[in-house]
Amino acid sequence: MEKVYMDNASGTPVHPKVMEAIMPFLKDGFGNPSNLHQFGRISSDAIQAARGQVANLVHAKPNEIIFTSSGTEANNFAIKGILAAHKKKGNHIITSQIEHFSVLNPLKSLEKSGCEVTYLPVDKYGVVNPDDVKKAIKPTTTMVSVMYANGEIGTIEPIKEIGTITGEKGIIFHTDAVAAAGNVPIDVSDVHVDALSMSANQFNGPPGIGALYLREGVRILPFMDGGVQEGGRRAGTENIIGIVGMGKAAELAKLEMPQRLSKVQGLRNQLRDGILKNINHVYVNGHPTNRLPGNLSLCIEYIEGESVLLFLDMQGIAISSGSACTSRSLKASHVIMATGVDAALAQGTVLFSMGINNSDADVEYVLEKLPPIVERLRQMSPLYNQKQMKN
């Protein structure tokens, strides 16, 4: 059976060159990088090189990169660690309603311990208004955390504008760039962010490794207590395999960025145009132009996303859905709902996220398989029936 992976927002396939870079360290990367002997040096040199590669991806300095176990850890670390180190200033944080759960849930637990959080709304495209950020700032505001781009609907946020505001007010700005880093160009010297989270598995590196960029001089409480790894900010013997893989993936992403952007965006547009041409009552989520290259989030009216996902899976096509039924919490995606989509329509949310692994043939295959599935489910749907009868 054909295999088409279009769920890159959940995790990308590891690049062959990343695998190649990792291989020698499966054998020789056992030396503890904290040790001075030759075995330790093999590991510590590799980590230093990777730190440089990751720093280079976002135009940071190597000492501003802290490796973590994931994007989730980077988000937790930034939010909890920065806030704890700046308690004296205040305990108010500004964020958006469409953040990932690895931002929203740490904030929820901080709220329980007395912090105040403002959740900014978004417009119908999922864009945070920088003016809203400005208006929400109070004397006690310590931090603003707004994502660089939303992985579910693809929208890229006005990070530069927000960074200018926080910079003027002396407020720390964290951005969850897990969906964006490695997929769109990022320059921390240009966008004035103080902290930025990344995950290797979002740009064809291995899973289980992420990083936090922390601007030099910004205080943070250590995430893990123990040894002095990562400048004493994140104790624990380094994940050398993951770090080497993330470094290589970052290097490749930086190097190939223009080609990747045009290829992935081209495929995404091809798929989008084909679906809109062949299936009626389909709506594109997120910003029309200012969006991640591979993201195609759609609401397919009258049907439910999990059913689409399951039928596509039977044809070898892997995608995601934001419907209430697909989520374990039985709640429709908070991101889709924040953009003001009607609850019934939100049930038909599906996400095709394309990556460098995809080809023209993949797009054609999906365009061949999807319309009959949608038609079949619509024939089964009482909503579609009602609609037809009214017409």
Partner 1 sequence: MQYSAKVMDHFANPRNVGDFPDADGVGEVGNPACGDIMKMSIKVKNNVIVDVKFKTFGCGAAIATSSISTEMIKGKTIDEALKLTNKAVAEALDGLPPAKMHCSVLAEEAIEAAIDDYLKKTTGKGLEKKKSHAHDEHHGH
In 3D space, the residue among 98, 142, 135 whose CA is nearest the CA of residue 117 turns out to be: 142
Helices (H), the chain: 16-28, 38-57, 71-76, 82-85, 101-112, 130-136, 159-169, 188-191, 240-278, 305-314, 334-338, 343-346, 360-380, 382-390
Select from ligand FES, partner 1, none the partner in contact with residue 303, using the beta carbon and a kind-dependent cut-off of 5 to 8 Å. Answer: partner 1
Q: Calculate the alpha carbon distances from 208 to 198, 200, 284, 353 in Å.
A: 11, 8, 31, 20
Select from ligand FES, partner 1, none the partner in contact with residue 390, using the beta carbon and a kind-dependent cut-off of 5 to 8 Å. Answer: none
Three-state DSSP state, 288: coil
Nearer to ligand FES, 172 or 319 (CB): 319
Q: Calculate the alpha carbon distances from 150 to 100, 226, 348 in Å.
A: 8, 34, 19
**Residue 314 CB, nearest approach to ligand FES (Å):** 18
Catalytic residue list contains 115: no
Which residues from 307-336 bind partner 1, rule CB under 8 A?
A: 307, 310-311, 314, 323-326, 328-330, 332
Q: What is the dihedral of CA 259, 265, 268, 272, to 10 degrees?
A: -150
Nearer to ligand FES, 136 or 345 (CB): 345
Which residues from 14-43 bind partner 1, rule CB under 8 A?
A: none
Contact pick of 325, 344, 361, 380 for ligand FES (by CB under 6 A): 325
Nearer to ligand FES, 324 or 366 (CB): 324
What is the contact mask toward ligand FES in residues 98 to 117, using x (rule: CB under 6 A)? Answer: --------------------
Structural contact between residues 120 and 128, judged by C-beta atoms closer than 8 angstroms: yes
**Of the residues 84, 310, 325, 343, which is catalytic?**
325
**Which residues are the active-site residues?**
325
Residues of this chain that interact with partner 1 (CB under 8 A) are 302-304, 306-307, 310-311, 314, 323-326, 328-330, 332, 343-344, 347, 379-383, 385
